[in-house]
Amino acid sequence: MRFCTGSLLLASLLLFLQTVRGTPNLDGLKTSNLKRNINSTLAARDLGSTNQSFLAMVNALEVMQSKFWDGTTWPLGIAWTEAVFNTIEWAALSSIARYRGSGVASLVDKYYSQLLNFFDGENTTQVLSEKYDDMQWVALEWLEAIKFLGVYEKNSSYIAKFAHRSRIFWDVASQGYNTTLCGGGMVWTYSLLPYKNAITNELFIASSIGMYLYSPGDSIGNPPVSAHDPKYLNAAIEEYNVRNVSLCPTS
């Protein structure tokens, strides 16, 4: 089972959105007429100053929501890519919420209300009929929303809903973990055995760690699950320990 660079790049993006810690002055920031004085010729892997990087992120969020959002969802996306959009945007809001400036509160409120609408607009039925990697993006997106609420506000009703959906999709996706084919790890789908790929397995590590670290538990589901349930940590460790297995036939 070989790991690819594509998912690592996405993971790096999410890490960047969560760890940027500058404090640029956003007084008077208007997203509809944002001054785009960002250096558009930044070299690859050179994001410039923290201030440049932060404003570039805000610009990207504005474009995404002004050009592709219809009030409930991103209609040009498909079920799993919408979950990816949502994951990244919740992470972006967490970073924005940590910054100072008079423009921050209104900016966060605007996009927060939009992303809340997606909870009801998400096509969960379709994702549950897709592959195991797609399902794990749903778990990750609502874990990211829970992390945002920990920064921005405490709203137990939303947190409980987000936790329940994350738990449902992790439970279904975890059925793809298989110890009899190729030495262990996640299958992509049971209709294409014994195929296993890197991204599905990497996402299982990420979603399992996320469930262990960030889920507050789920009292809606039956049986209830407590916060920091060790089954999630154990799943991540077991999956990580088979990450170098390459016993499956390759094309």
The two three-digit tokens of residue 28, written as one number? 């008077």
SS3 label, residue 177: strand
Measured over the CA atoms of residue 55, residue 58, residue 63 and residue 64, the dihedral's sign is: positive
The answer to whether residue 144 sits within a structural domain is yes
Specify the higher pLDDT residue, 110 or 41: 110
C-alpha span between 161 and 122 (Å, rounded): 13
Reported confidence tier of residue 4, pLDDT bands at 50, 70, 90: very low
Q: How many domains does the chain have?
A: 1
Residue 175 lies in a domain: yes
| Averaged pLDDT, 32-38 | 43
> Does residue 247 sit within a domain?
no
Residue 228 reports pLDDT greater than 90: yes
Decide: helix, strand or coil at residue 187.
coil
pLDDT score for 75: 94
Q: Is 43 among the domain residues? A: no
pLDDT of 8 over the 50 cut? no
Considering the domain boundaries, does residue 142 fall inside one?
yes
Q: What whole-number percentage of the chain has pLDDT above 90?
A: 57
Torsion over CA of 82, 210, 196 and 247, rounded to 10 degrees? 160
CATH number of the domain enclosing 213: 1.50.10.20
Which carries the bigger pLDDT value, residue 170 or residue 14? 170
Task: Give pLDDT, residue 42.
Answer: 47
Q: Which residue has the tokens 């874990």?
A: 143
106 class by beta-carbon count within 10 Å (0-12 exposed, 13-18 middle, 19+ buried)? exposed
Return the pLDDT at 50. Answer: 66
Q: Cα separations (Å) of 139 from 61, 105, 165?
A: 21, 27, 7
What pLDDT does 124 receive?
Answer: 96
Residue 45 pLDDT > 60, yes or no? Answer: no
Q: How far apart are CA 170 and CA 45, in angstroms?
A: 33
* Gap between the Cα atoms of 85 and 107, Å rounded: 18
Query: For residue 225, what are the β-bridge partners?
Result: 218
In a domain, 249, yes or no: no
Which has more confidence, 92 or 248? 92
For residue 80, give its domain range: 5-19+48-241
Q: Residue 250 domain-assigned?
A: no
3-state DSSP assignment of residue 225: strand
Report the pLDDT averaged over residues 164-176.
97
- Tokens for 33, please give them: 């007429």
146's enclosing H/E stretch is helix 132-152
> How is residue 32 annotated by DSSP?
G
Please tell me the distance from the alpha carbon of residue 244 to that of residue 98, in angstroms, as a whole number.
38
Calpha distance 149→20 (Å, rounded): 18
Provide the pLDDT confidence category of residue 243 given band limits of 50, 70 and 90. Answer: low
Reply yes or no on whether the pLDDT at 117 is more than 50. yes
pLDDT of residue 7: 42
| Winning range, highest mean pLDDT, from 4-13, 33-42, 153-162, 198-207 | 198-207
CA distances from 145 to 14, 33, 47, 57, 160 (A): 13, 27, 25, 18, 11
Mean pLDDT across the stretch 180-193?
89
Q: Give per-residue pLDDT as tens, 58-116.
A: 889 999 999 999 999 999 999 999 999 999 999 999 988 887 666 788 889 899 999 99
For tokens 């939303």, the residue is 158
**Distance (Å, whole) CA 93 – CA 90:** 5
The per-residue pLDDT of the chain, averaged, comes to 81
Residue at 246 is within a domain: no
Can you tell me the mean pLDDT for 130-145? Answer: 97
Q: Examine the pLDDT at 25 and tell me if it is beyond 60.
A: no
